[in-house]
Chain A
Amino acid sequence: MSAARLVWLPPLAISAVLVLYPLALVLATPLAAPGGFAVLGSSLFLGALVRTVWIALCSTAGCLVLGFTLAVLIGFVPFRGAALAARLVDSIIALPTFLVALAFTFVYGAAGLLNGTLLALSEAGPHALPPVDFLYSQWGVVLAEVTVYTPFVLRPLLAAFAQLEPAQIEIAGSLGARPWRIVRRIVLPAALPALLAGGSLCLLLTVNEFGIVFFIGAKGVITLPLLVYDKAIQEFDYPAACAIAGVNLALSLALFATYRALLRIGTRGSGGRG
């Protein structure tokens, strides 16, 4: 019986070796090196920190707006193929995030569809239209992250809407409530737990996002994960990389705790599955 009670020990041992021990070393490495935390005072790091948080906030706001719009349209204006559309958007979750960054090269890139069109219009028309190069700014990263992470908002929203009593909306509508009013007074409150949980998950994922920033590779757009990569792989400066990674980890863990707390509140509030 005593052996059966310790059955959780092997997976914990694996986690300890492959997750906890490496994390502890990341936190300890700058402590051991003289001036190991000096990089945290540099403008390079502070700039990356501010940019990471700003990009994450903008991307999350975009995910919430786009996710809510799509969910209301898919959930409340039923059409044939709604389930299929939701499933297609959902499958984006399983694809590598850099796919969208690479795809954007052909949409908004230097020689992509948009700039090709602008160039053609400039040559045909009387006015020269300047090329658009927002892809290589932080807004390119934000747009790519909105595309990739909106499903994380859409999925819980559609689940929340499926639990909403349809009669509530029918009655409100038959009593003369305008669609806007119904969305504001009935749909939005019902969606709030899902919005909060989905939004905090998006914040976590966008703070940690590497592939999109790496692939777009814009000169000035350096986020915390990218800076960790640069320090460790380009400069072999492990203490600096670990110090920056420590800040990134603290940010992620705080957001993870927020997400878990919001998720608990959400499931308790809806009285559904615990």
Chain B
Amino acid sequence: MLLWSAAARSTAWTVLGLLLLLVYGVPLGLILLASLTGQWNGVLPSHMTLSHLAGTLRAEPAAQLRASVLTGLAASLAALAFGTWAALALRRVRGGARRWLELVFFLPSALPSISVGLGLLVAFSRPPLLLNGTVWIVLAAHFVMVSAFAYGMVAAGLAQLPAELEQIAESLGAGPLYRLRRITLPLLAPQLLAAFSLGFALSMGELGATVMVYPPSWVTLPVGIFGLSDRGAVFDAAALTVLLAAGTVAVLAGAARLQRLAGGK
């Protein structure tokens, strides 16, 4: 406790409340309000409507939502498999090789999303692998953007597991696959779930790498939202953004709840 007098404490709370309201409450509240706005010329909207939210069900945004969800699922599952494999494999590697491999697996988290997209665009618009113009280049971009986070979360979870568990199982005669399936992976379950849900959330909101590589046949929700906002359809853009944010928060909250139910934390 830093402040002893009741007056000083309530001043501090007021300051905190105002800061949080101004920095986070007002923008989040207003984008929600905008998604319900019919017309906004004065201080606040002059009339409200559900048509923008209903409009998110139209064919075009629905197809974008579908593309985003499918991309998010595929990219985050692939990143989860990659990250788990990489983290498990690195347990056996020591010294300089380990540091270099860690660096490679972490590298994408330091890269500008635009450069990731540009790199894929340049690399896969030429033989031997022609992926430009296909869904695969979007999947590759999303995979790269979330893979480092998946690796990092699984590696952090693995570092907290007691090493003796596996050694005891080994001394009792359990083979490597059996140990992995019956001991390590179940103990890692909370981190695997968290890595998957964060990867999905990040992929759903990915914009920079996607705008560099997406084909017209695979427009993700953030790209669609930018198109609306750019055309001046800001209330439609707000409605889709609210939908995207609500979906993301729901997935993360659901995963956190599942973790608690499973007795993780």
Q: Are A92 and B101 in contact (CB under 8 A)?
A: no
Contacts of B229 in A (CB 8 A): 102, 105, 215
**Which of B41, B119, B147, B207 touches A214 (beta carbons < 8 Å)?**
B207
The verdict on A54 contacting chain B, using a C-beta distance below 8 Å, is no
The verdict on B158 contacting chain A, using a C-beta distance below 8 Å, is no
> Looking across the interface, which residue of chain A has its beta carbon closest to that of B29?
A103
Q: Are A208 and B2 in contact (CB under 8 A)?
A: no
The verdict on B105 contacting chain A, using a C-beta distance below 8 Å, is yes
Contact with B along A140-182 (1 / 0, CB 8 A): 0000001100100000000000000010011001000001001
A97 to B34, CA, bound (A): 18
Q: Are B244 and A4 in contact (CB under 8 A)?
A: no
Residues of chain A from 16 to 40 with CB closer than 8 A to chain B in the complex: 18-23, 25-26, 29
A side interface size, CB within 8 A: 90
Contacts of A113 in B (CB 8 A): 26, 30, 43-44
Given contact pairs A7-B92, A8-B89, A19 touches B112 in the complex (Cβ within 8 A): no
Contacts of A169 in B (CB 8 A): 1-2
Task: Choose, from A43-51, A189-197, A248-256, the stretch at the interface.
Answer: A248-256
Nearest chain B CB to A52's CB is how many angstroms away? 10
Main SS of chain A's interface residues?
helix
B side interface size, CB within 8 A: 82
Nearest chain A CB to B47's CB is how many angstroms away? 15
Q: Are B27 and A104 in contact (CB under 8 A)?
A: yes
Contacts of B119 in A (CB 8 A): 19, 22-23, 25-26, 245
Given contact pairs A8-B101, A102-B237, A208-B111, A89 touches B13 in the complex (Cβ within 8 A): no
Number of cross-chain contacts by CB at 8 Å: 250
The verdict on A271 contacting chain B, using a C-beta distance below 8 Å, is no
Contacts of B124 in A (CB 8 A): 22
Contact with B along A115-142 (1 / 0, CB 8 A): 0110110000000000000000000000
Nearest chain B CB to A135's CB is how many angstroms away? 11
A150 to B92, CA, bound (A): 37
Given contact pairs A94-B201, A112-B30, A232-B118, A170 touches B1 in the complex (Cβ within 8 A): yes
Contacts of B41 in A (CB 8 A): 111, 116
Q: Are B118 and A242 in contact (CB under 8 A)?
A: yes
The verdict on B252 contacting chain A, using a C-beta distance below 8 Å, is yes
Q: Are A11 and B16 in contact (CB under 8 A)?
A: no
The verdict on B31 contacting chain A, using a C-beta distance below 8 Å, is yes
User: Hey, which bits of chain A sit against chain B, CB under 8 A?
Assistant: 4-5, 7-8, 10-12, 14-15, 18-23, 25-26, 29, 66, 69-70, 72-74, 76-79, 85, 88-89, 91-92, 94-100, 102-107, 111-113, 116-117, 119-120, 146-147, 150, 166, 169-170, 173, 179, 182-183, 187, 204, 207-208, 210-211, 214-215, 217, 224-226, 228-229, 232-233, 238, 241-242, 245, 248-249, 252-253, 255-256, 259
Q: List 5 A-B contacts (CB under 8 A).
A: A15-B104, A106-B27, A210-B208, A225-B114, A245-B114
5 A-B pairs with the lowest CB-CB distances in the bound complex, closest first: A96-B205, A22-B119, A256-B110, A103-B27, A208-B112
